Amino acid sequence: MTRARIIAPLCAAALLGWPWLTDDKFLHHVGVLICITAIAAASLHLIIRTGHVSLGHAAFMALGAYGSVLTVMGLGLPWPAGFVVGTAAAAALAAIAGPILLRLTGKYFVLVTFLFGEVVRMAIVENAWLTGGSNGIFDVPPLNPALLSNRAYYYFALLFAVFGVGLCARLLGCEYGRAIDSIREGERLAECSGVPVIRVKVTVFIIACALAGVAGALQAHYIRYVGPESYSIVQSLNLVVMNVIGGMASLPGALLGTVFMVTLPELLRGYVNLQQVIFGAILFATMAFNPGGLIEVFHRLRAWLRAAKPNAIGGVSSTVRGS
């Protein structure tokens, strides 16, 4: 409890303060991308926690992005209306598709969500009158002239990220989260303890896809362009990799994976020819040495520190721990 009281303000200070340590717009840009992607990765983490790996999560980001952009540009409504429409569109599609998709398990769910994502992408490409087809929609207006700088948009995206990730954390931490974990670890047993398995899965799926919609809308108004290729299987797969590389069964793992997967390609921009090769090699090595995910590094570090402690401060350690 006391430790959380020290760590939380430190984290808050770091998140709020770092953009003022540098004037590098590129770093601010990476910060914005991390905030947006963190919402998407954390929301996919919710679905993964119910025992389903979705390969179509980017499709719901696309719905949020197109929904918001079309509301703002097509109907001329203010951006909050756009965000609401985009989020609602993603949630509505999840409510329709969820009850069907979530009755599939394991590899069948993976394959069908992959196809589902491609169907959504094709629908966007084919309906050029509405969506601009493969070219997408250019010149999306900024949300507000004050949000034109990367630094300002970082704080805007951070607000949404704190809310979105916080919602995921709270959902997993409360009694509902216990039901979610029960389903993943023993679906039949959970059902025989009274957990309405399908209902819980569908509810979680709708919440997660709505959050993906928020991430999509945030991204579209930041990049100020929407196109179908931003929401292809590559993006869906990236979100899955973030969860796997961070540690499948923990939300901090998913966030760690997000930072890793967003930052690394950006840092490797200098080596254009080798970018993909180096990225692949690092990814491979990380997974090979940390099968439990990046979060495992922290656990090992903590265990190592704990083992080292008695030597450092001798017999006092027990009283220190007791305080």
Helices 79-101 and 106-126, axial angle in degrees (round to 10)? 140
Q: Select 33 or 206, whichever has its Cβ closest to another protein.
A: 206
Please report how close the Cβ of residue 43 comes to another protein at its closest, in angstroms. 15
What is the phi/psi pair of residue 127, to 5°?
Answer: -95, 65
d(CA 81, CA 282): 42
d(CA 282, CA 263): 13
d(CA 177, CA 202): 14
Please report how close the Cβ of residue 299 comes to another protein at its closest, in angstroms. 15
Q: Select 249 or 278, whichever has its Cβ closest to another protein.
A: 249
What residues contact residue 265 under an 8 Å CB cut-off, 6+ apart? 275, 279
What is the phi/psi pair of residue 256, to 5°?
Answer: -60, -45
- Residue count (the chain): 323
Quick one: DSSP state of residue 252? Answer: H
Q: Select 72 or 190, whichever has its Cβ closest to another protein.
A: 190
Q: Select 69 or 204, whichever has its Cβ closest to another protein.
A: 204
d(CA 173, CA 2): 19
DSSP-based three-state secondary structure for 137: strand
Q: Select 88 or 197, whichever has its Cβ closest to another protein.
A: 197
**Binding site residues, another protein, CB under 8 A:** 170-171, 174-176, 178-179, 181-182, 185-186, 188-197, 203
